[in-house]
Amino acid sequence: MDDSNKKDDKPAEGLRKGLTSYGDSGFSLFLRKAFIKGAGYTDNALDRPVIGIANTGSAYNPCHGNMPQLIEAVKRGVMLAGGLPMDFPTISIHESFASPTSMYLRNLMSIDTEEMIRAQPMDAVVLIGGCDKTVPAQLMGAASAGIPAIQLVTGSMLTGSHRAERVGACTDCRRYWGKYRAEEIDGEEIADVNNQLVASVGTCSVMGTASTMACVTEALGMMVPGGASPPAVTADRIRVAERTGATAVAMAKQGLTPDKIMTGKAFENALRVLLAIGGSTNGIIHLTAMAGRLGFDIDLERLDAMGRETPVLIDLKPSGQYYMEDLHKAGGVHALLRELKPLLHLDTLTVTGRTLGEELESAGPGFPQNVVRPFSQPIYPQGGIAVLRGNLAPGGAIIKQSAANPELMEHEGRAVVFENLEDLVTRIDDEDLDVKADDVLVLKHIGPTGASMPEAGYMPIPKKLARAGVKDMVRISDGRMSGTAAGTIVLHVTPESAVGGPLAYVKSGDRIRLSVKNREISMLVSEAEMETRRKDNPVTPPTAERGYRQLFLKCVTQADKGVDFDFLRAGETTERIPRDRG
Ligand code: FES
């Protein structure tokens, strides 16, 4: 019998949460139940904890191509644990289908996620994401929304095979494209490779941003143990989805909110893992943005100090040789955490309600494998990412040292400057371009406000040098690069050129010095000369007439604040992390 008209004195949980404002709460619930019953639900179903499931499936997002199977498995897990699953759509962002950049839309997706969690009745939420910007956007939104939340990633794609060589997106995409530009392979072969690089649905198969965010999210405690590594098309991935659904119900009952899991110590664990996996440089930006939502500021100097004592242990491309499916077979993130144990906070809470240390204990001992190295035999002796400073980047810059060319890490050279992306595209392959192998390529105006920070920091080697066999050059910009890319590439120069940072005033012919050993990035130009250049060419930051672009340009922060919008960050900073261990 329908009992919707009975007086309802139950606490504001499940469907009773966040009633729509009609000035009569009884009527609001009555109406809500009437509508949901139109979809065939019974009162028994509607009386259970409601678990929202953020559905980011989209025909434009093949990295999320297994979304229907994952949602089905999450729902099964929720129902087995006595909850009511309710999936709902949000924005989905794929790297190659978002213009001008996926980064431009990350904050919008985080707002969408936060507001739909707030607006709709749910006691916990399962966030299903995977492609680079989606996981940070979801965790930023969930951190701000404040209800129990758990991350499920779609999982990595399988590797393909090109003429008996194993290939995967997207380190090999760049490598083969480089060969094609250098005229080492022809049009027919590059078309063949194109069919093999992405062998199934799922996220990029190397330690790019998607894999990085999956690993650091597991270290943060925001996904079920073992949830980072199963490939998208495996039974393991589906089982992780079912466990995620069941765990979400338990989290709803316990009131296990993100602030209890994503603590300062948990972010330190995540940063430690970022360094030890040779993770994407984008990981720093995303972790900074996520931490900023909860009142934590990431201190780049201390992060660099942390990097000096954290070796890279995972042998995945682009720093090493293997792929995500190999990491999974080697024991996944647990195999790494076991090695890093002495450097981790083991008392941080995870979505299971148990601590990271307890989860590690219950995972048992490891087994012999080649993908996760022992602490004593790293693939790179320090953390993958180093923080640079100097008169070119007073607010900091970074370099992925584990994927850089050791011969170029101490380098002084002549700047060859490109004013913006258009200038780069127009001139980089010009046979008359005055450029030599030991020059330093400088690209301006690809920072947050300049061009919404595209992954264009990985500038192509000028064709005439590529043909001559040049594989790497020092490259500097205020932009980002894909986590799948490798090279001696200085990124995230802060402040950016579009707001008048020193990078805006570099001229072709200036001498530039990079010293990774001394953590220095400098232009050898006197302060007096810089002052003259500033006076002669004052920089006017870009503006927009209307819409989201106007909001973006007004409110976006620099890389050192995670490129989040200023009004989305926590009101005040409560802690600087990593904490000073000195
Ligand atoms: Fe989606 Fe690489 S393009 S993870």
Q: Are strands 410-418 and 511-515 parallel, antiparallel or unpaired?
A: antiparallel
pLDDT band at 40 (very low <50, low <70, confident <90, very high): very high
The per-residue pLDDT for 581 is 65
Does residue 9 carry a pLDDT above 70? no
Which residues does residue 161 pair with via DSSP β-bridges, in sequence order? Answer: 166
The per-residue pLDDT for 483 is 82
| CA-closest residue to ligand 1 atom 1 | 131
Q: Is 9 exposed, middle or buried (0-12, 13-18, 19+ CB in 10 A)?
A: exposed
Phi-psi map region of 344: left, alpha, beta (phi>0 left; psi -120 to 50 alpha)? beta
The candidate with the shortest Cα–Cα distance to 266, out of 334, 333, 357, 383, is 357
| CA-closest residue to ligand 1 atom 3 | 95
Ligand 1 contacts (CB < 6 A) are 63, 94-96, 131-132, 169, 203-204, 208, 210
The per-residue pLDDT for 1 is 38
194 alpha carbon – ligand 1 mean position (Å): 15
User: Hey, what are 224's tokens?
Assistant: 């079920």
The per-residue pLDDT for 2 is 42
Q: Is residue 153 classed as helix, strand or coil in its secondary structure?
A: strand
User: For the CA atoms of 55, 56, 58, 61, what is the dihedral angle to 10 degrees?
Assistant: -150
Where would I find the H helices in 90-156? Answer: 102-119, 134-145
d(CA 566, CA 572): 11
Does residue 398 carry a pLDDT above 70? yes
The per-residue pLDDT for 5 is 44
d(CA 469, CA 248): 53
The per-residue pLDDT for 383 is 87
97, 105, 132, 134: residue to mutate for ligand 1 pocket, most atoms within 8 A of CB: 132
**Ligand 1 atom with least separation from CA of 209:** 4
Cβ neighbours, 10 Å, residue 224: 25
**Ligand 1 atom with least separation from CA of 482:** 2
* Omega of the bond leading into 49 within 30 degrees of 0 (cis): no
**Ligand 1 atom with least separation from CA of 61:** 1
pLDDT band at 580 (very low <50, low <70, confident <90, very high): confident
Average per-residue pLDDT in the chain? 95
d(CA 54, CA 127): 5
The per-residue pLDDT for 8 is 58
Q: What pLDDT, in 10s, does the model give residues 91-101?
A: 999 999 999 99
Q: What pLDDT, in 10s, does the model give residues 120-179?
A: 999 999 999 999 999 999 999 999 999 999 999 999 999 999 999 999 998 899 899 999
204 alpha carbon – ligand 1 mean position (Å): 5
Q: Which amino acid is at 247?
A: T
The candidate with the shortest Cα–Cα distance to 371, out of 486, 215, 234, 217, is 215
pLDDT band at 3 (very low <50, low <70, confident <90, very high): very low
- Give me the phi and psi of 513, to 5 degrees please: -120, 125
The per-residue pLDDT for 319 is 86
Q: What pLDDT, in 10s, does the model give residues 179-233?
A: 999 999 999 999 999 999 999 999 999 999 999 999 999 999 999 999 999 999 9
**Ligand 1 atom with least separation from CA of 94:** 1
Could you tell me the pTM of the whole model? 0.96
Q: Residues 299-323: what's their mean pLDDT? A: 94
Whose tokens are 């024991």? That residue is 331
Q: What pLDDT, in 10s, does the model give residues 238-250?
A: 999 999 999 999 9
Q: What pLDDT, in 10s, does the model give residues 478-519?
A: 999 988 788 999 999 999 999 999 999 999 999 999 999 999
Q: Kind and range of the H or E element at 415?
A: strand 410-418
- Give me the phi and psi of 154, to 5 degrees please: -70, -25
Choose the most confident range, by mean pLDDT, from 4-8, 239-243, 383-387. Answer: 239-243
Does residue 551 carry a pLDDT above 90? yes
Does residue 424 carry a pLDDT above 70? yes
| CA-closest residue to ligand 1 atom 2 | 204
